[in-house]
Amino acid sequence: MKKAESKFYYNPKTLRYERVRISIFNISVTFLSLALFGFAFFVGLVFLQNYLIQSPLERALREENEALKTHQTILASRLEAGNGLLSELKERDRLFYAEIFSTERDSETGVDPDQDEILLAGIPEFHGWADKLGEKLKTASKNAYAWDYIFRQKASVRKEDLKMLKSAPTMVPMEDFEVEKLVSGFGIRINPFHKGKYQHSGVDLAAPSGSRVLAGGPGRVIMISNNNLVAGYGNYIEIDHGYGYITRYAHLRDILVHYGQTIKEGQPIGTVGMSGGVIAPHLHYEVLKDGEKMDPVRFMLSGLTTAKYDLMVKAGKKMNQSLD
């Protein structure tokens, strides 16, 4: 095996050739040079891989990203128009609901992103928001067409019918009403005295004695009865609302109106009591149309949200014992 040759250099100070010795400085410079070369080579490979050599998926994603950037203005305008349409439909629906039922619609759950959040989202998130917005627009349009059809074909109202609708007794006839106060509904119920089933002709609204009773709608007092018998309706009032509608308020303690008096909707007309045949203080409320007794829950709409009205309907359907 050939022995490695030694290297010499001429030293002008000693005027002699001397053997070249390996120094730490030379080793460090050599290692650093190799490291810098390796790093530069690695960066070049990464640049070549990422920007010069592209897979089909990378190429498609880059083209889609460039398209989104190019058409950002168009997307922003479409999003703005879509959100504007949704806001307009929601506002119209809110105003219509408040006009019909005299209360606000139940608030919606969930939080929608703003326009900037959508536009700045990544591609998967952007497509998700776009799909959700499209579905909301479809649902809003479908609901709008459905309500439009219902009110044009099924519930159209003539101008001459507006006065009749405004005269209908649609208000809950009790101050500070809560759904839990409806303790017995219209229909077959259990009599509190003989425990047999009978036709309960109204609804029983429980309240402390002396609570104010309100008129369910505008009209004129056509009946006032003061009865000391421990049976029947006891002290009660009847109001004629016109167009065949009459409301009856029974088992009162005090009567605050007189015969023939013109009454406004929501006006206090009496107080809750225990007159007549009852087992607890409450208001027995009836609605009659052309002499036929109707379920008052169908008319007690004003001031109640959809959720509260649904609860009241369920409470009115329970088979339980009435209070009179």
Q: What is the pLDDT of residue 148?
A: 66
Cβ proximity of 281 and 274 under 8 Å: yes
Instruction: Mean pLDDT check: name the lowest of 100-104, 148-152, 156-160.
Output: 100-104
Instruction: Mean pLDDT check: name the lowest of 93-107, 198-212, 288-302.
Output: 93-107
Give the rounded percent of residues in the chain with a pLDDT score beyond 70.
Answer: 68
User: How far, rounded to the nearest angstrom, does the alpha carbon of residue 208 sit from its chain's CA centroid?
Assistant: 33
Q: Which residue has the higher pLDDT, 127 or 48?
A: 48
User: How far, rounded to the nearest angstrom, does the alpha carbon of residue 276 sit from its chain's CA centroid?
Assistant: 44
Q: Per-residue pLDDT averaged across 155-165, rounded? A: 68
pLDDT digits (tens, 9 = 90+) for 274-283: 999 999 999 9
pLDDT digits (tens, 9 = 90+) for 81-96: 666 766 776 777 666 6
The residues, any chain, with a CB within 8 Å of residue 90's CB and separated by 6 or more, are 140
Q: Which residue has the higher pLDDT, 25 or 320?
A: 320
Q: What is the pLDDT of residue 76?
A: 64
CATH label, 167-316, candidates 3.30.830.10, 2.70.70.10, 2.40.50.140, 3.40.605.10: 2.70.70.10
User: If pLDDT is split at 50, 70 and 90, which confidence band does 199 have?
Assistant: very high
Q: Per-residue pLDDT averaged across 69-85, rounded? A: 65
Cβ proximity of 248 and 203 under 8 Å: no
User: If pLDDT is split at 50, 70 and 90, which confidence band does 229 have?
Assistant: confident
User: If pLDDT is split at 50, 70 and 90, which confidence band does 164 have?
Assistant: confident
Q: What is the pTM for the complete model shown?
A: 0.59
CA angle, 71 then 77 then 79, to 5°: 100
Annotated domain spans of the chain: 8-52, 71-154, 167-316
Whether 111 has a pLDDT exceeding 50, the answer reads no
